[in-house]
Amino acid sequence: MKSCVLHDDGREQVAGFHMAGDLLGLDAIGSGNHTCDTLALEDTEVREIPFASLEQLSREMPSLQHQLHRIMSREIVRDHGVMLLLGSMSAGERLAAFLLNLSQRFAARGYSPSEFRLRMTREEMGSYLGLKLETVSRTLSSFQERGLIEVRQKQVRIVDFSGLKALLEQKR
């Protein structure tokens, strides 16, 4: 699924992509309404948890309470990572970070870390990474030319993990 924040003026940006098991909607607790729209990119099963019950339960179960706080905290840390990405990385670095992140998350769910199908369009990736779809496409092509990955439309295979990681660590 993808979550989009939308600006007053109509501009919108993908704030995150979600996979099986992810908890989402935490943004609504503060004000009562959601600041994101979330859209499924493929058939998806969703479980709704009323936040009031979660709060009540977590009062009785300290471990649940703590777990909830961990999840919210992680979301904040994740967002900081994205801010770093958007604020100080080049197109290539952004794509490399994105692919490695996806790879990790697929692996955590028991799928192959090296071969997967992108569920989102180039435009959605670009929106998330602060790039235009053409730049996303070009950068992926260049990765392929350099032997880092193989792309064919939405199908991706990571060939050279350390090469991708090197893209992120070289600067300074």
Residues of this chain that interact with its own copies (CB under 8 A) are: 5, 7-11, 13, 15, 26-31, 35-36, 51, 55, 58-59, 62, 65-66, 69-77, 79-84, 86-88, 127-130, 168-172
CA pair distance 140, 132, nearest whole angstrom: 13
Is 153 a binding residue for DNA by CB under 7 A? The answer is yes
Residue 166 is encoded by which pair of tokens?
A: 């090197």
CB of 151 to DNA, least distance (A): 5
Q: Kindly tell me which residue out of 116, 122, 158, 164 binds DNA, with binding defined by CB under 7 A.
A: 122
Of 18 and 138, which CB lies nearer to DNA in the complex structure? 138
- The Cβ-side half-sphere exposure at 33, using a 13 Å CA radius, reads 3
Residue 121 binds which one of its own copies, DNA, none, with CB within 5 to 8 A depending on kind? DNA
| Binding to DNA in span 79-108, by CB under 7 A | 90-92
Is 157 a binding residue for DNA by CB under 7 A? The answer is no
The torsion angle over the Cα atoms of residues 14, 171, 77 and 44, rounded to 10 degrees, is: 40
Residue 109's identity, in one-letter code, is R
The torsion angle over the Cα atoms of residues 96, 100, 106 and 111, rounded to 10 degrees, is: 100
CA pair distance 156, 140, nearest whole angstrom: 10
**What residue ranges bind DNA (CB under 7 A)?**
90-92, 118, 121-123, 130-138, 140-141, 151-154
